[in-house]
């Protein structure tokens, strides 16, 4: 006699799932959205590429001007570029200015303890003092020493 095992025998333990019949609500909405977007894309391309005479011979007489076939995608592209620039601008406005005292240090700063034993050892992580950064970046006539002080 052949022993029959339960179909749910592999689904055991703390991570067991219960399987329901058919797709769930999220899958159904996803499929409907996918089909709707595919149909809308096909209708858009038919409207944009077919001449007006072909559409009128089929019986379609009420449709937007062909101007909008180029205008809407162009407006969307410009709007996306605007959103990117607006996002970057808002981030730049949130950053303190270069001469603000908030850019020098804060309560989380790690000061240098000058415990460099030799040149072969990697130094510990610390914040570089603002004077050393200014000396490196803004030295006279663009000549910097090439190394950090601190």
State percent of the chain over pLDDT 90: 43
Percent of the chain with pLDDT over 70: 76
Q: Is the pLDDT of residue 122 over 60?
A: yes
What is the residue-wise DSSP string for 25-62? HHHHHHHHHHHHHHHHHHHHHHHHHS-HHHHHHHT---
Q: Give the pLDDT mean for 47-68.
A: 92
Q: What is the dihedral of CA 68, 71, 76, 78, to 10 degrees?
A: -170
Judged against a pLDDT cut of 70, whether residue 109 lies above it is answered with yes
Q: For residue 143, is pLDDT > 70?
A: no
Q: Output the average pLDDT for the chain.
A: 80
């Amino acid at each position: 006699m052949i022993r029959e095992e339960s179909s749910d025998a592999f689904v055991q333990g703390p991570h067991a799932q219960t399987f329901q019949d058919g797709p769930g609500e999220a899958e159904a909405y996803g499929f409907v959205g996918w089909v709707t977007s595919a149909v809308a894309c096909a209708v858009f391309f038919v409207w944009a590429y077919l001449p007006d005479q072909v559409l009128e011979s089929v019986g379609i007489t009420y449709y937007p001007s062909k101007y909008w076939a180029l205008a809407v995608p162009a407006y969307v592209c410009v709007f996306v570029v605007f959103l990117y620039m607006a996002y970057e601008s808002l981030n730049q406005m949130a950053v303190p200015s270069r001469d603000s005292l908030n850019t020098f240090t804060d309560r989380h700063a790690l000061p240098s303890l000058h415990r460099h034993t030799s040149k072969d050892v990697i130094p510990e992580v610390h914040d570089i003092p603002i004077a050393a950064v200014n000396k490196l970046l803004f030295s006279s006539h663009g000549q910097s020493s090439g190394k950090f002080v601190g």
